[in-house]
Structure 1
Amino acid sequence: MSKVIKTGICSFGMSGQVFHAPFIYVNPGFEFTAVVERSKDLARQRYPNVKVYTSVADMLADKELELIVVNTPNYTHFEYVKAALEAGKNVIVEKPFTVTTAEAAALIALAKEKKLLLSVYHNRRYDSDFKIVRKVLNEGLLGDVLEAEIHYDRFKEELSYKKHKEVANPGTGSLYDLGSHLIDQGLQLFGFPKAVWADIRIIRKDSVVDDYFELVLYYDSLRVRLKCSYLIREALPSYQIHGRIGSFIKTKSDIQEAQLLRGLLPNSPDWGAEAPHEWGLLHTSIDGKTVKQYLPGTNGNYMDYYQGIYEAIANNAPNPVDPKDAENVIRIIEAAFQSSQEGRVINL
């Protein structure tokens, strides 16, 4: 790689420390050049050569930087992505892309006008569990899919230590936070639906933001149910896909986040490899014979996203996550809130 993309990260909380800096640091196509930390000095302890700024505006004025990662609270995404694009920088923005589809459309138009890359970090496309589900569907092992259910459940009554996530601001709550993952996966597997129904609730004692939702995406002959609850002690399998000739059942088993939290780097041996007890169960018919077996997953690897970003900037390759995909996620979220409030199916 001859080109090195100098990159700045807008904050160094969990997202910066776990999901972005390690991949930028390990990939030779990038340089982790700058970061915003207003009071702490954690980034420089781990990455001694990084420049530390105390504001996003100061970092955006750094002419060296070619790529900015916007990983600040959801309600700030529009403001900071807009500022970064206007400063002539390519941008990766954390999910959810924006709070509204109007904001998303405005940013897509601005990036196009400036001829800059704008990409959304829908990293769960690169989880080992999602990759094997997509492989099973692409190979037609279930026949015509009639029903699918995808879960992202937790068991946590207490509020998050990340205070901004527990304030009733635009863009907070489980549907924006975790629902954006589930919706993106649903759209990647099955396309954009014809309609959506939703039930969105608050179930924790002291919560003021939604922490439970159920969405149903309506297709011609398929229904896709997306579910999340913060009070599920014994979780169901995260993927339950049923087709005309078979079923595939899969746990949520990607280990990358756990590896990153332990301080491992994404060039470590066995990166993203699932344990055999997490393999998905395929029960179907192949060549007229009943097959019931566990399928090993391919390794998860968020580096595939970052390598895609490098190729897009350096070699004009396709954007690994088109921002129009991420805008569609926000469209579904807005329709889901309308459905839950009005108690009806919303046509899309």
Structure 2
Amino acid sequence: MSETAPLRVALIGYGFAGKTFHAPLIAATPGLALNLIGSSDAAKVAVDFPRAAVVADPLQAATDARADLVVIATPNHSHAPLARAALAAGKHVVVDKPFTLDLAEARELAALARRHDRVLSVFQNRRWDSDYLGVRQAIESGRLGEVAHFESHIDRFRPQVRERWREQAGPGTGVWWDLGPHLADQALQLFGLPERVFASLATQRDGAVVADWAHVVLEYPRRRAILHAGMLAAGGSPRFLVHGSAGSLVKAQADRQEAQLLAGLTPGAPGWGQDPDELQWFGAERSERWPTPAGDQRRYYAQVRDAVIGRGANPVTPVQAVALMAVLEAAAASAVQGRALPPALSEDERAGFERERISGASPS
């Protein structure tokens, strides 16, 4: 690997996440070459990437000599073992969310990355969504005053349970482990770590075997951040709702990049990430509409590239990944115990997360 040659990327997993998100974003990022894909369906891969080598065994793909950076987009239970193997083989690693299944695994991988001096990052692509970028800009501008109430919704209308691993019984399945990492990561970037986490999870659809509804409250001294996801919402839920001492903000519609990717739009093509849905601000006596900035999830992979070649910072560090895992785990335990729980982080882990959050710039 050199600074002039493209970074050789192995993508493990060519299901929904790998095919829809990772592969197009990697392919559209200068300085990255997607030359190996771990998949049991070579014919499916060949349609999109005929020149890529295909390796059926995911463990072999994780340690293949033809890769500098390994991207893991496999079912959640396999994230930790594949990341462990890739780091031990000297690879830089990107893991799709959730990072691991529990806090102990997250800490283990963070320590392993430090020991091998490798970049280890988690694919929190929705930090570069238009809706989140717009809300973050509005909060940081001070136009809302001190935020007291924050709601973040990823609501969908999918009344039929689908035949996919995310909706079947197993470790790391269900809506909280699917969408919770996005919701919680954005809130933590905005407000830091909560004192306590209170969660309610439910299984609502006919035929569902894992939780398909999640309502989680992050408790701060004065602020409450509500994270919500459900599969029986046909409409009426804004993506973001924020109330502050100087006004309120509504972002009605979600970022369009996922829909654009599903429609086959190439990242970076005309219209990519553009969001015509404006932010709505309400003050005591007047209201305003503000344009929403464009989103671009390619920025995540551009920053990973720069971190690997030593020209920039890791966009989502193991410190952040461990902190997020503590919040996800606290929510899961809270739903079982019926009480608010603190994230199980040490004082050093909390301080390290806060240092990174304060020193880090807004997504760019």
- CA 1:167/1:253 → structure 2, altered by over 3 Å: closer, same or farther? closer
Q: Secondary structure at the match of 1:299?
A: coil
Per-residue deviation at 1:126? 0.6
Tell me which residue corresponds to 2:221.
Answer: 220
Q: Secondary structure at the match of 1:52?
A: strand
Q: Distance in 2 between matches of 1:150 and 1:46?
A: 34
The residue correspondences of 1:135-284 to structure 2 (distance < 5 A) are 135-162=137-164, 164-275=165-276, 278-284=277-283
**2:44 aligned to which of 42, 45, 56:** 42
Q: Deviations over 1:132-159 (max 9, x none)?
A: 0000011111001111111111111211
Per-residue deviation at 1:165? 1.4
Identity %: 36
Q: Distance in 2 between matches of 1:9 and 1:91?
A: 10
Matched letter for residue 240 of structure 1:
L
Asked if 2 retains the 8 angstrom alpha-carbon contact of 1:141 and 1:284, the reply is no
Tell me which residue corresponds to 1:14.
Answer: 16
Tell me which residue corresponds to 2:337.
Answer: 342
Q: Is the counterpart of residue 298 in structure 1 residue 293 in structure 2?
A: yes
Q: Distance in 1 between matches of 2:51 and 2:270?
A: 26
Q: Distance in 1 between matches of 2:307 and 2:5?
A: 12
Tell me which residue corresponds to 2:319.
Answer: 324
Tell me which residue corresponds to 1:99.
Answer: 101
**1:314 aligned to which of 306, 309, 329:** 309
Per-residue deviation at 1:199? 0.9
Matched letter for residue 234 of structure 1:
G
Asked if 1 retains the 8 angstrom alpha-carbon contact of 2:174 and 2:210, the reply is yes
Q: Secondary structure at the match of 1:8?
A: strand
- CA 1:229/1:337 → structure 2, altered by over 3 Å: closer, same or farther? same
Per-residue deviation at 1:41? 1.5
Q: Distance in 2 between matches of 1:134 and 1:257?
A: 20
Per-residue deviation at 1:96? 0.5
Q: Would you say how many aligned residue pairs link Structure 1 and Structure 2?
A: 341
Q: Distance in 1 between matches of 2:66 and 2:41?
A: 23
Matched letter for residue 22 of structure 1:
P
Q: Distance in 2 between matches of 1:259 and 1:198?
A: 32
Q: Deviations over 1:256-286 (max 9, x none)?
A: 11111111111201210012xx21101237x
Asked if 2 retains the 8 angstrom alpha-carbon contact of 1:68 and 1:90, the reply is yes
Runs of 4+ in 1 over 3 A off after TM superposition: none
Tell me which residue corresponds to 2:74.
Answer: 72
Matched letter for residue 120 of structure 2:
L
Q: Which runs of 5+ in 1 are unaligned?
A: none
Per-residue deviation at 1:84? 0.8
Q: Distance in 2 between matches of 1:123 and 1:194?
A: 26
TM-score for both structures, normalised by structure 1: 0.95
Per-residue deviation at 1:291? 4.4
Q: Distance in 2 between matches of 1:37 and 1:196?
A: 38
Q: Distance in 2 between matches of 1:279 and 1:120?
A: 29
Asked if 2 retains the 8 angstrom alpha-carbon contact of 1:3 and 1:314, the reply is no
Q: Deviations over 1:160-205 (max 9, x none)?
A: 232x212221211111101111011111111100011111111111
Q: Secondary structure at the match of 2:115?
A: helix
Q: Distance in 2 between matches of 1:328 and 1:204?
A: 31
Q: Distance in 2 between matches of 1:344 and 1:317?
A: 41
Matched letter for residue 20 of structure 2:
V
- CA 1:345/1:59 → structure 2, altered by over 3 Å: closer, same or farther? closer
Per-residue deviation at 1:323? 2.2
Per-residue deviation at 1:67? 0.3
Q: Which runs of 5+ in 2 are unaligned?
A: 344-364
Q: Is the counterpart of residue 55 in structure 1 residue 57 in structure 2?
A: yes
Q: Secondary structure at the match of 1:318?
A: coil
Q: Distance in 2 between matches of 1:313 and 1:187?
A: 25
Asked if 1 retains the 8 angstrom alpha-carbon contact of 2:13 and 2:37, the reply is yes
TM-score for both structures, normalised by structure 2: 0.91
Q: Distance in 2 between matches of 1:74 and 1:211?
A: 17
Q: Distance in 2 between matches of 1:104 and 1:76?
A: 13
Q: Distance in 2 between matches of 1:342 and 1:261?
A: 39
Q: Distance in 2 between matches of 1:299 and 1:60?
A: 34
Per-residue deviation at 1:316? 4.2
| Cα RMSD for the two superposed structures | 1.4
- CA 1:243/1:262 → structure 2, altered by over 3 Å: closer, same or farther? same
